[in-house]
């Protein structure tokens, strides 16, 4: 999602037993059981088929274990297989009290927080997902300023957001953080894939900048964990339109070349997002965008994941055709709507207008009916 208002969770008290040790201490699962690419589909728990899922940026920052369990139960009961989460929470000032943060960034010395208000919160999410067979896409950094992201690195290490990809000090700390997270969960059956960044952009840059960065970082992650999949996390900008479209999303003005990036050997699959309103196109743009990405992925011999999509109103009528296009397009292996909504002990989760709440009429249309169509 382009940008999010912060969901204020830091004031919640730490409830329930936090995990006291990284999950790497647990017995390693058989790597052959981890999610993998199978042709133009994904194999999950031994089954190769189209997969449905959703996004939750906020679940990684919940401090009540019962709330995490409730959400995971609802996801599993709904038949959703993949949940994409924020594996980052960067700060440039250490918060007081029990506020959740994962990484403090400073030119004079950064710190990765492995405490009860740090990566132990992500530990619980991973463990809860393992118990229910939910698979997680874990993202390492945000292009946007929500929960720190690249702007926090720039504040700590200087330069510009466009220069983040080649800023040696920023990249050194980013790799340290990636290594800490990957090392923590490299043995987990809950990890679907590692994701380099949420919606990486380099406005006005040559597409070589992100291409080289993604090549180098994905290779590095594979050296740390050769058994889990890796993906970029981009919006899918920069590809030939099937109808000759030259609209903004098809261009490379944001420094992203989808087709070129598909050629990176250490990226296992492509992803793409879609927010017509934010991009200045109509909702009818959706099915063609989906099909064009499917065609590019088919040509590259890799599956695509329709990783984020949303609209702020009339969810069922607008988004159902997008789901149908995704389900019927060769080369597209699954879709994850933005975003999951639920009722926690503290009340309703963040509603950004795109949210689909568990048990709602929109959820029946876009979750229950969609999963039924997949399984029919």
The catalytic residues are 199, 308
H helices of 280-368, in order, are 286-300, 315-328, 361-363
Distance CA 160, CA 70 (A): 40
User: 229 and 192 in contact (C-beta within 8 Å)?
Assistant: yes
Say how many CA atoms lie within 13 Å of 179 toward its Cβ. Answer: 9
Contact between residue 369 and residue 356 where contact means Cβ atoms under 8 Å apart: no
- Omega before 173 within 30 of 0, i.e. cis: no
Contact 150, 103 (CB under 8 A): no
- Give dist(CA 120, CA 284) in Å, integer: 43
The Cβ-side half-sphere exposure at 34, using a 13 Å CA radius, reads 22
Contact between 210 and 200 under an 8 Å Cβ cutoff? The reply is: yes
Q: Number of C-alpha atoms within 13 angstroms, CB side, residue 40?
A: 17
Widest CA span in the chain: 57
**Sheet strands side by side (includes 82-86):** 229-231, 191-195, 135-139, 82-86, 51-56, 332-337, 304-309, 270-274
Tell which residue, 242, 241, 219, has the closest CA to residue 230: 219
């Amino acid at each position: 999602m382009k940008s999010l208002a912060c969901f204020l969770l830091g004031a919640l008290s730490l409830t329930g037993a936090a995990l006291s040790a990284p999950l790497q201490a647990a017995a390693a699962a058989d790597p052959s059981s981890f999610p993998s690419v199978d042709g133009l589909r994904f194999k999950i728990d031994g089954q190769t088929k189209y997969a449905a899922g959703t996004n939750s940026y906020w679940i990684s920052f919940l401090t009540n274990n019962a709330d995490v369990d409730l959400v995971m139960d609802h996801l599993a009961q709904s038949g959703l297989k993949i949940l994409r989460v924020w594996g980052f929470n960067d700060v440039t000032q250490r918060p007081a009290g029990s506020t959740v943060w994962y990484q403090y960034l400073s030119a004079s010395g950064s710190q990765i927080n492995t405490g009860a208000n740090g990566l132990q919160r992500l530990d619980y999410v991973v463990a809860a997902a393992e118990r229910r067979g939910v698979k997680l896409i874990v993202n390492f950094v945000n292009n946007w300023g929500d929960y720190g992201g690249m702007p926090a690195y720039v504040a700590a290490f200087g330069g510009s957001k466009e220069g983040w990809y080649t800023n040696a000090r920023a990249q050194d700390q980013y790799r340290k953080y990636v290594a800490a997270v990957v090392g923590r969960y490299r043995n987990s059956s809950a990890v679907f894939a590692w994701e380099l960044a949420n919606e990486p952009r380099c406005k006005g840059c040559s597409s070589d900048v992100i291409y080289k960065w993604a090549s180098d970082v994905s290779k590095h992650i594979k050296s740390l964990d050769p058994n889990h999949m890796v993906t970029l996390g981009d919006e899918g900008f920069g590809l030939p339109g099937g109808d000759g479209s030259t609209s903004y999303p098809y261009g490379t003005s944001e420094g992203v070349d989808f087709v070129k990036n598909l050629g990176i050997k250490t990226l296992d699959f492509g992803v793409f997002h879609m927010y017509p309103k934010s991009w200045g196109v109509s909702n009818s743009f959706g099915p063609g965008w989906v099909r064009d990405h499917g065609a590019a992925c088919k040509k590259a011999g890799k599956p695509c994941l329709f990783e984020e999509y949303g609209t702020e109103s009339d969810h069922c009528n607008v988004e159902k055709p997008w789901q149908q296009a995704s389900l019927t397009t060769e080369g597209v292996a699954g879709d994850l709507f933005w975003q999951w909504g639920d009722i926690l002990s503290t009340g309703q989760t963040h509603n950004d207008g795109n949210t689909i709440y568990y048990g709602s009429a929109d959820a029946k249309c876009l979750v229950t009916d969609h999963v039924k169509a997949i399984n029919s």
